Amino acid sequence: MSIPVSYYLALSGVLFGLGVVAFVFKRNIITIFMAIELMLNAVNLAFVAFSRAHSTAGHVALDGQVFVFFVIVVAAAEAAVGLAIVLALAHTRQSLNVDRVNLLKF
């Protein structure tokens, strides 16, 4: 009994869709950030699965895994800057609700 790569890809699609739903429907800015991380994780799973799909018995295709490495590095940088923005926002607006962040509105 063997698992084809498409199972992993379908799981990746489900996780990405749930991340989009969380991103759109959550109102807390920290949870919205977590939804972004969830989507990045889903894409990473697809990258590793594609890397596996393009490998053969003799040759392992590594480009997908190198991409996952870069995605994780960029996610770390994004989390650091994003959470600093969250801190600054919480100090100025006294709220984590994104609906209250309307400084640019007339």
User: In which region does residue 94 sit, left (phi positive, over 0), alpha (psi from -120 to 50) or beta (all else)?
Assistant: left
Segment (H or E) for 72: helix 63-93
Binding of residue 26 to another protein (CB under 8 A): yes
> Please, which residue, 58 or 104, has the CB nearer to another protein?
58
Q: Which of 49, 93, 102, 106 binds another protein (CB under 8 A)?
A: 49
Whole-angstrom distance, CA of residue 53 vs CA of residue 6: 9
Binding of residue 48 to another protein (CB under 8 A): yes
> Please, which residue, 56 or 104, has the CB nearer to another protein?
56
Whole-angstrom distance, CA of residue 42 vs CA of residue 16: 5
- What's the min distance (Å) between Cβ of 71 and another protein? 10
Binding of residue 56 to another protein (CB under 8 A): yes
Binding of residue 36 to another protein (CB under 8 A): no
Binding of residue 101 to another protein (CB under 8 A): no
Binding of residue 37 to another protein (CB under 8 A): yes
**Phi/psi at 16 (5° precision):** -65, -45
Residue with tokens 């607006």: 93
